[in-house]
Amino acid sequence: MSAQSVVGDSRTGSAPRIGSAYMCNCCPKKPKKFGTEDDLRKHMLEKPNECDFCPNRFKNKNEAERHQNSIHLRPYSWSCGAILSYEIAFHPLNSLTPLSYDICGYCGEEFTNSPRDWDARFVHLTNVHKFGECDKTKKFFRADHFRQHLKHSHAGTRGNWWGVLENAGRKDEPPQKVRNRDYENA
C-alpha cells in the first residue's frame, strides 16, 4: 500500500481539511488534526488494517476484525416495530390449574383467557407499557440493549416472560456490502 493511496491524491484535494489543518478520517471515535499532509500520512500508516465496510483503520488485525463483527456483521436486530400487534405481547402460561391464562411479555402479569379479557389486556399494554408509543424504527443490535429499552421505555420487569417478547422483536438483518477500495482510491 503506497503512502499516496492511504491519504488520497493531494492534487484532487481528497485529504479532508478544516481551515489549514488536515483531518484524519480513519479514527472512529475522535478524528485528529494535523498541520501537514505528511503528518496525516504518517498517522494513517500507523494503522495498516482497514475495515472492509467503512474507512476506519486499526493498529492490529484483531481490532479491525472485532470492529467488523460488532458493527457491520450483525445477523440480527431487535425492535419494537417487529411486535406488530398487542396479541403478540401475550403468550400462554403453562400451569396446572383448570383455568387458562396468558402472561404479559413485558411484566409477567397473568390474564385469564376470556373474550372480555382482551380489552383489559389492551388497556394494560397502552397505559402501563406505553405500547406503540416508542420509535418503531429504532433498532438494537444487541439483545441486552433491547432488554434495557423494554425496562426503561416500557416499564418492563425482567423474568422468564421476556424470552417470547425478545424473539418476537428479533429480525434478520441483510448482510452489508463490502466497499470497493479500488473505486475510492481511483
CA 14 to centroid of chain Cα atoms = 30
Q: Is 78 helix (H, G, I), strand (E, B) or coil?
A: strand
Residue 160, number of CB atoms within 10 A of its CB: 8
Name the residue ranges covered by the structural domains of the chain: 3-73, 76-172
> What does DSSP assign to residue 68?
I
Q: By C-alpha distance, which of 127, 126, 173, 166 is closest to 150? A: 166
Give the C-alpha separation, 125 to 75, whole Å. 29
Strand duo 90-92 + 76-78: pairing: unpaired
Cell of 36: 501537514
Q: 3-state SS of the chain: helix, strand, coil percent to 5?
A: 35, 15, 50
| Tens place of pLDDT per residue across the chain (186 aa) | 444 444 443 333 456 677 778 888 777 677 788 888 898 888 888 888 888 888 888 889 999 998 888 888 888 899 999 998 888 998 887 766 566 788 999 999 988 887 777 888 999 999 999 998 999 899 998 889 999 999 999 999 998 888 888 999 999 988 878 876 554 454
Task: Specify the pTM.
Answer: 0.61
